[in-house]
Amino acid sequence: MFAVAWLLRRRSLASRTQASTAEIQNMIQQIQSGTREAVQVMEQGRNRADVGVNMAGKAGHAIEGIAEAVAKINEMNVQIATSSERQSSAVDEIKRNITIVSDVVDQAAEGARESAAAADELARLATRLQHLVSQFKV
C-alpha cells in the first residue's frame, strides 16, 4: 500500500508538475506575445515621433522663411514710408512754387494790362499833342 500511495502521489505530482509546466509555458508565451506587441507599438510610436520631428523641422524652416520675408516686407514698408514722406514734402514744395509762379504771372499780367493801358493813353496823348502842334504855324 505504501508503494501504491507513493506511486499515486508521484503520478499526481508528475501530473501537477506537467500541468504547472504547461501553465508556465503558456504564461511565457503570453508574456512573449505581449512583449512583441509592446515592441511593435513602441516602434510605431518611435516612427510616428520621427515623422513628427521631421515635420516640426520642416515647419520650423518654413516659419524661419516666413519670418525673414516679414522682416524684408517691414524693411520695404519703412523705405516706402520714407519715400512717401519725401515725395509728400517735394509735392508740397512744388505746390508752393506753383503758387508763387502763379502769383508772379498774375502780377505780370496785371503789369502788362497796366502797360497796355498806359501805352494806349500815351498814344492818345501823342495823337492829341500832334494835333495841337499841327495847329501852330511858325
Is there a domain that residue 64 lies in? Answer: no
The grid coordinates of residue 111 equal 503789369
Alpha-carbon distance 117 to 126, whole Å?
14
Is there a domain that residue 96 lies in? Answer: yes
Regarding whether 137 and 88 lie in a shared domain, the answer is: yes
Number of domains into which the chain is organized: 2
Give the number of other CB atoms < 10 A from CB of residue 13.
10
Least confident span in 25-29, 89-93, 134-138:
134-138
pTM: 0.49
Regarding whether 88 and 41 lie in a shared domain, the answer is: no
Residue 27's domain spans which residues?
1-46
Regarding whether 85 and 137 lie in a shared domain, the answer is: yes
Residue 138 in this model has a pLDDT that exceeds 70:
no
**Residue 17 — very low, low, confident or very high, per pLDDT cuts 50/70/90?**
confident
The grid coordinates of residue 113 equal 494790362
Regarding whether 133 and 94 lie in a shared domain, the answer is: yes
Is there a domain that residue 126 lies in? Answer: yes
